[in-house]
């Protein structure tokens, strides 16, 4: 047993029904979610620490590029730490990312945006966190792209993150934005998050200290998952 999951703090995650993001209207439950104490089904989860990663799995500059070349765009390093809300690192956890190319075009058969595909950019990567919860990717900064929500709506530059902790109840998918992007304040998806301080948690900061001179500029993005309760007192009627 890994202990009980700390209940989600209210007001951090976006509500499910957010009509300005139109697709949520028919895809959000109307009944209240049912709460219960976490059980082994939520307190355990898949682990991938033993998984063999390819040498370029976290290097999107090279993992789809033809030999001798690399993806076109602003070369960036995205790095940070995976922590829980008790400020403890989460080691050996899987982080997967996906994104558009520098022009805002996704390598996906359903994306018909007129910006061109980059023959040297796939747009997916993954890594396993280190003992201190640290992770890093190399990629290009994605471009903004239009989407058919309102008549003239553009997503801010963003990288999608899929994060596993050590339990299924910690599972999280989110998006990372970039410091200073004026589209964040106009985006109905970013603005599904009601709390400004919570949305700020998704905006990666320019990190000159990790920038590689004459090579790649760095952004720092720390991720915080819900934690397990540090039990001081617990009623156990069975006397264990």
Enter the tokens of residue 153.
């709506």
Tell whether residue 126 is a contact of another protein (CB under 8 A).
Answer: yes
Asked if 59 contacts 123 with a C-beta cutoff of 8 angstroms, the reply is: no
Binding to another protein, residues 198-237 (CB under 8 A):
198-199, 201-202, 222-226, 236-237
Binding to another protein, residues 21-40 (CB under 8 A):
21, 23-36, 38-40
Tell whether residue 77 is a contact of another protein (CB under 8 A).
Answer: no
Buried b (16+ CB within 10 A) or exposed e, 203-215: bbeebeebeeeee
Which one, 72 or 202, has the nearer CB to another protein?
Answer: 202
**CA Rg value for the chain:** 20
Residue 213 CB, nearest approach to another protein (Å):
30
Residue 198 CB, nearest approach to another protein (Å):
5
- List, by residue number, the catalytic residues: 106, 145, 155, 158, 160
Burial (CB < 10 A; 0-12, 13-18, 19+), residue 187, is buried
Binding to another protein, residues 148-167 (CB under 8 A):
160, 162-163
Q: How far apart are CA 126 and CA 98, in angstroms?
A: 9
Range in contact with another protein (rule: CB under 8 A) among 69-77, 93-101, 178-186, 207-215: 93-101
Binding to another protein, residues 177-196 (CB under 8 A):
189-190, 192-193, 195
Residue 138 CB, nearest approach to another protein (Å):
15
Asked if 185 contacts 44 with a C-beta cutoff of 8 angstroms, the reply is: no
Tell whether residue 121 is a contact of another protein (CB under 8 A).
Answer: no
């Amino acid at each position: 047993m890994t202990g009980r999951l700390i209940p989600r703090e209210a007001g951090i995650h976006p509500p499910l029904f957010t009509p300005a993001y139109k697709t949520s209207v028919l895809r959000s439950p109307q009944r209240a979610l049912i709460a219960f104490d976490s059980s082994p089904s939520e307190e355990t989860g898949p682990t991938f620490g033993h998984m063999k990663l390819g040498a370029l799995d976290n290097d999107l500059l090279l993992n789809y590029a033809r030999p001798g070349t690399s993806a076109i765009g602003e070369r960036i390093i995205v790095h940070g730490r995976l922590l829980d809300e008790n400020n403890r690192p989460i080691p050996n956890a899987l982080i997967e990312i996906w994104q558009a190319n520098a022009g805002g075009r996704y390598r996906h058969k359903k994306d018909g945006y007129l910006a061109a595909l980059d023959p040297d950019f796939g747009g997916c990567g993954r890594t396993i966190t280190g003992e201190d919860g640290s992770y890093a990717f190399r990629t290009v900064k994605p471009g903004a792209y239009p989407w058919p929500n309102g008549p003239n709506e553009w997503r801010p530059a963003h990288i999608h993150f899929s994060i596993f902790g050590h339990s299924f109840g910690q599972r999280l998918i989110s998006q990372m934005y970039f410091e200073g992007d004026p589209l964040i304040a106009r985006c109905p998806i970013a603005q599904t998050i009601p709390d400004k301080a919570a949305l700020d948690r998704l905006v990666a900061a320019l990190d000159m200290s990790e920038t590689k001179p004459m090579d790649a500029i760095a952004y720092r993005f720390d991720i915080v998952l819900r934690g397990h309760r540090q039990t001081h007192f617990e009623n156990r009627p069975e006397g264990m």
